[in-house]
Amino acid sequence: MLGDDLLLFFRDWIELLAGDEVLATAILDRLPHHAQVLNIKGRSYRHRDS
């Protein structure tokens, strides 16, 4: 189910966590707490290779 990255829609996280919507919400709420957001402009290598 997990590919090369962890880019999943919210419903996919719920499915991945055995249908536990409360757990999925709690985990996803805490992920960005200490994160730094990087806004990168320019052409994507991912789009170039696809």
Report the pLDDT averaged over residues 21-50: 76
Q: Is the pLDDT of residue 6 over 60?
A: no
Q: Is the pLDDT of residue 4 over 60?
A: no
Q: How far is CA 10 from CA 7, 15, 18, 21, 50, in A?
A: 10, 9, 13, 9, 24
Which stretch of DSSP H or E encloses residue 41?
none
pTM above 0.85, yes or no: no
